[in-house]
Structure 1
Amino acid sequence: MADSPLPATDPVLRIDGTVRNYAWGSRTALAELTGRPLPTEHPEAEMWFGAHPAAPSRITGTDRSLLDVISGDPAGQLGPDRAGDRLPFLLKLLAADQALSLQAHPTKRQAEEGYARENAAGIPLTAAHRNYRDDNHKPELLVALTRFEALTGFRPLSRSRELLTALAVPGLERTTALLGSGSDADDLRALVTTWISLPSASKIDLVSATADRCRELAADPRTADWMRGSAGVAVDLAEQYPGDSGVLISLLLNHVVLQPGEAVYLDAGNLHAYLRGTGVEIMANSDNVLRGGLTTKHVDVPELMRVMDFSPVVDPVCRRDAAGRFDVPVPDFALQEVDRDQTTPVTGPAVVLVATGGAELSGMTQETAPVQLRPGQAVWVPADVGSTVGVTSLGRTFIATVG
């Protein structure tokens, strides 16, 4: 599909995703999706489509960013009923070839307090040991483009007891003897606190013994499928991060395997780790991450424990409704997937992102012929676009708006 440019006078703007190179990313997935040469020189983990100060999207063919455009006219770009002068969401393409760090995100109040506290302490925003890089919360929704594996939230403790009992690792049995308060959340907090605080030598031995037993359990055809999946993940994580307490904690989390089109929603405090796959991710406009393991980056255990929600999550998978919308309980963002050969109107402020196939945009004030978009391309539709913009999907197309 050939590119068709937007007129310079049109309020709808083509924006370029900003690539983020993290070690867990892929050298092929995003390049293949966007039609670039592969493998890439560095692992490409994410492409950001939005106005976060750390990596705002560029307006195609210019040196201006979407952040510049919105800052210059917040009322026109975001609308008169906006809650503030910044775009409240961030849209991403995400590709994981190996596990991300075990992490959780703060509530809005926790982020505001933590950001102010670290500013007062004089910690630079770019410092490696900085926890809060902005004052916002970070609820997030990930929709699978390929088969996508993730650990998402604590499963009910009764199921985890089954797994720990089946493993029968003496060191685990001693720590699980601490359970029995009558509250799943309190028991999970006690267990995680114990495992994450173990002395280094003890932790290495326990992780090694647990991984060995997980390998046996995963290979046993009599093992229940959900146990086999969880045990297999722990084996993989132990190979990537030997001696890391995140291997033990992974045994307490929901192991989900998403098929294309399925999604997971993660609220503030939900412990999670994406494992492998490619997806479209939308979140509140934030880059705040509290890490608990499976990483070489900064880990602040006390702060993580403070923000973590230990309430069990029974079913973390969410599915779209008949109109392609995903239900999320936050006002920062909403996401709709437009089915192939379907046309839907777009009301700004919005980002339209093509994930596969292509899309056509019609109805712009200065353009009569439809504008063609290829996979990995996106446009910004401001609040004051002045006419109805229609999006016809030729594959998998996503519309991100304010909730």
Structure 2
Amino acid sequence: MCVHLHTLMTLCLTFTQGGCMYSSNHWGELNDSQLQPTIQKLMKGYNRYLRPNFNGDPVEIGMSLDIASIDAISEINMDYTATIFLRQRWRDSRLVFPGNESVSVDGRLVSLLWIPDTFIPDSKRSFLHDVTVENRLIRIFSNGTVLYALRITATIACNMDLTKYPMDRQVCTLQLESWGYNLQDVVFYWTRGNDSVKGLDILRLAQYSVESYYTSVSRAVYETGQYPKLVLHFALRRNVLFFILETYVPSILLVVLSWVSFWISQSSVPARTCIGVTTVLTMTTLMMGARTSLPNANCFIKAIDVYLGICFTFIFGALVEYACAHFYTMQHQTVEDLHRELLRELNESNGNGSMPFISSRQSNHPVEIGSTAEEITEQSANSDTRNNAGSKEKASRQGCGLSSVKNASRRAAAVFTVENPHNIDRHSRTAFPAAFLFVNILYWCYYLFL
């Protein structure tokens, strides 16, 4: 049998040169019917432009894949680049020869045979490897079965849903269709179902891990007819650990850093202002850096955008908190200065026995300072009584509507009045961490489990 194979390979080489030269040792005592057919005999009357079973049943083409690598997955371009070994099998009755052996011929002889016009519809760019020769394989079996294998690298589109980025799960496909032969001419099928795809289980990707995959048989419907289609579906789960170290942890630390200002004295205006402004600017830079690896124009909000927005809100809220606390502190300090001034002048009046008049900042009426605090209180009470009586009389003349507006304004002002501004920082030390922890629980539960 080895002699037969050697004879066949010799005939293949001589056929390409246009001649047939065999020694008598190759023929021996065997007649022509006992020898395996040469390529010349197989090609006699063979028309590579006509499919097998022309004007008959469609050709059944079985396919299998080996995924050698997935080199890159781009969220910006919504595609992935993969190198695959594509194997196709079909039966051509014109290539039947006696025996039980198979013959592997040079891949350059593919131009002499009919081959399917399989293509990848979602491919953006693809090429056939040709180092050192074109990576093709042609193997012909004695029953006419042809195995055609080739190595392809293709950049294939993958529609991604980045709503839960970077905790997303993407399902990409690899589709195989016939370009010109419809379902009446060829039929595609997976040779071994899901086992027809090899290599995905052992792939190691930078940001993803292959979660699952399966195959399906479908049909492509176009204006020109219905065409066979095979689809490989594979799910990719993104590894979130990188993003936790790259984005989530720094943003959390920035939020915690903004809380340091709650323990700094409110009189230290430069220190607290510097912390607030620095954390806001740093958070803005982090948000811009997180978007560099993503599409610029998106019609959806991603999970990382939501989290960075939450952190930015808490950081900005800490800065606003100090502004409010400082405002109420200055207001409270003004009232205390007024009280100290009144007490000082009261003490002076008790020393010389005079009764001066001091204009109060909170009233338009002069207040007479006597020798005792009780008299001051009594005079103030009488003055308030007269003022209230005058206000009521004036309000009655202006109407009930204006009076109700003033009362509502007084009640609203009383709500926003802070007796002790230092309580703002004291409550913020508890309220901000508790609120941030609660929001984090809601965030991670929603994007991880829903």
Range of TM-score over shorter length: under 0.3
- Larger relative CO (CA 8 A, sep 6+): 1 or 2? 1
**Structure exhibiting the larger radius of gyration computed from Cα positions:** 2
